[in-house]
Amino acid sequence: MTREFGKHFLVEFIGCPPDGLKHVDDVRSSFLDAAEKSRAGIIESHFHQFEPYGVSGVILIRWSHFAVHTWPDQGYAAFDVFTCGEMDPEVAIEELRRSFRAGRVEMEVRSRGF
């Protein structure tokens, strides 16, 4: 890759207590808090409640995004940060790890560009 436009963090939160992943208000609040603490300039955010539980959410940042999908039954949440470098993704990841009380975190970082 000769030109990197962004870094993409693919994060798996494993072994989370199901209750913290069920409801849109909890997930939104953790997520917005993590975005703020990582100094991500939020443009807009959208969260969706699935019935009976489970949440998907996205935050648009300047040329970047956060995304989350939760599977409460499995104690699992998939989290993405695509960033062009004006924020600190690892702060967001640590904040979410704490909020979701994940027992284990797996992370992969990919360069985006060509």
- Would you please indicate which residues are annotated as catalytic (active-site) residues? 64, 69, 84
Query: Which of 14, 24, 42, 91 contacts a copy of itself by CB under 8 A?
Result: 14
What binding mask, one character per residue, do residues 25-44 give for a copy of itself by CB under 8 A, x or -? ------------------xx
Cα–chain center distance at 25: 15
DSSP letters, 21-49, are GT-HHHHHHHHHHHHHHTT--EEEEEEEE
Residues contacting residue 52 through CB under 8 Å, at least 6 positions apart: none
Judged by CB under 8 A, does residue 67 bind a copy of itself? yes
Contact segment (CB under 8 A) with a copy of itself among 19-27, 30-38, 62-70, 85-93 equals: 62-70
Provide the edge-to-edge strand list for the sheet that holds 55-61: 42-49, 55-61, 64-71, 76-83, 4-14, 104-113
Q: Which residues bind a copy of itself (CB under 8 A)?
A: 3, 5-6, 8, 10, 12, 14, 43-44, 46, 48, 50, 54, 56, 58, 60, 62-65, 67, 69, 71, 74, 76, 78, 80, 82, 104, 106, 108, 110, 112-114
